[in-house]
Amino acid sequence: MSQPNIITKIIKRDGRIVIFDQDKITQAIYRALRSVRETNVLLAQEVSDKVVEVLNDRFSNSVPGVEDIQDVVVSILSAIGYEEVARSYQEYREKRAFIREAKYWLLARDIRTKLSENSVKVLESRYLRKSEDGKILETAQELFKRVAHNIASAEKNFNPSITDDELFRVEEKFYRMMAQLEFLPNSPTLMNAGNYLQQLSACFVLPINDSLLSIFEALKQTALIHQSGGGTGFDFSHLRPHGDFVKTTAGVASGPISFMRIFDSATQEIKQGSFRRGANMGILRVDHPDILEFIAVKADNKTLQNFNISVAITNEFMEAYEKDEMYPLRNPRTGQVIEKLSARMVFDCIARTAWTTGDPGLLFIDRMNDERGNPVPSLGRIEATNPCGEIPMLAYESCNLGSINLNAVLKEEGEGKCVFDWDGFGTLVHNAVHFLDNVIEMSRYPLNEIDQATRSMRRIGLGIMGWADILMKLGIPYDAEEAYEFAGRLMKFVQDEARRASDELGKLRGPFPNYTYSIFVHTDRKPRNAALTTIAPTGTISVISDCSSGIEPIFALAYIRKARLNRGARDDKDEWVDLLEVKFRKKLKKSSASQWK
């Protein structure tokens, strides 16, 4: 009879938290007994009960790992006189670990990760595992191994009988594309996969309704998300405007911008997973009464420094702009029109402020919710995006991102000529979709609401980086018509192949759980993921990959980029380093040499 358990879960080597099952301990002990010709089933159960008794005592307030449990098994077998069995059990553990390490040793000889000086600086400061005193504990290859092993482990959730060799083939596929800098996931996945935190998503959207309870609940949730390494997006449009009546206090409302300042201050105090500061997206509808104050709020370059802000533009506003008409401002509390403004005047304010400060951006909120933008319109409207604005999501959704380095699929054909490898690109897209779907499975989410919403939609964001690099190598000007046509062809290819990959996963694993509420239910598609592609800024992962950021142009052949580093310091001072970026050294040397012949 099994020992009553206090512990209910264990942490697997790959970081997954699973239900504790004593029978598995009993079976492992029995196999060790059989290896020395001892077939006493009752003895195996007796040892198993003692193991659970020790675990209950040691881990009453924490979750044990697999290694913790195995250490206790070896200890108890030795203590009761079965030292030969203990050695057999230990040898089996070491044999499996040796085989896996040997496979990776062969892989490491086959794959040489070429890192630039900037890549090394960024990896050492923010990504590689460190001890409490700041000592680096892993190499870049070991980082990629850690991530690949962790993300590949999701296969066990769909195929519990998968063999070690089959699992390693998936792991190798993921390792190769990261170690060769062909594809990299977002920073939280690189930082947290295989670590205790195991929070792998970059982007979250939280709802804010017109009550103090809702506002400060969102603030608490924001703190938890930022602490775990994510960024947050909010729509503040539901909050009543400045000066509006508050029934409970017979006073007046302070308006959405005052609460944004509170969120900004809280963000300033929280360091994301000890690696980076938090980031927010603040959104206000163009028909909110406080819109003009919102547009100008960052004009002093001091206010809301932890926010990007965007105006949610409606179709009604754009029609008024085209006709040079007034459009209504509505009180979100009552729905009543309280004022009208010139659409062109407001648009001019947006343009001027964006030119001088970089904010606000524009979100075409009605376009986001039409049949092309919202895959599940029956579940509600999309109101907000992630901090960088590329992922529209429903309340409590999160999304994990990854980008393909286009330099990796550009092949040289001699005499400096390059061609695009469409077949290799297609393979990368399929592997990346597989990887990102596994990330959803492996991530440990900071809130139950986020866990449920994310797994119900399984939204991923696959994009590209290095666009400007390959245009230069192909000899295509960034602003040429040829570049525009190539971009359309390339992104159509990404979208088509990502859909095929998601549909294939849907057949194997089932469509995303909210499929029955989606626009796909009326088609012949059953995708694994509600949404697939995006274009992310790829700020830090493009530095690691030594390529141009996202689809951005290269604004100078040589420049110095300021990067915030983390050295494990416990004070509030940020440490910065200069990253010297010199683009196309070979081309510069060649042109320089020919110039002086």
Catalytic residues: 386, 388, 390
Q: Which residue has the tokens 């980031």?
A: 279
Assigned token pair, 255:
């308006």
Q: By the 8 A CB rule, do 426 and 493 touch?
A: yes
Assigned token pair, 461:
């964001």
In angstroms, the CA 208 to CA 284 distance is 12
The single-letter DSSP state of residue 126 is I
Assigned token pair, 490:
């390339």
Assigned token pair, 112:
């040489």
Residue type, 169: R
In angstroms, the CA 531 to CA 399 distance is 10
Helix 41-58 vs helix 22-34: angle between axes, to the nearest 10 degrees?
130
Assigned token pair, 448:
């139950």
In angstroms, the CA 120 to CA 543 distance is 9
- Positive/negative CA dihedral, 566, 567, 570, 576: negative
Long-range contacts of 447-450 (CB under 8 A, 24+ apart): 447/221, 447/224, 447/225, 447/396, 449/396, 450/204, 450/225, 450/396, 450/397, 450/398
> Residues 6 or more apart from 235 whose CB is under 8 A from it?
207, 208, 283, 284, 285, 312, 383, 384
Q: By the 8 A CB rule, do 432 and 462 touch?
A: yes
Q: Tell me the residue ranges of DSSP E strands in 387-442.
A: 392-393, 398-405, 410-412, 418-420
The single-letter DSSP state of residue 273 is T
Residue type, 576: W
Residue type, 372: R
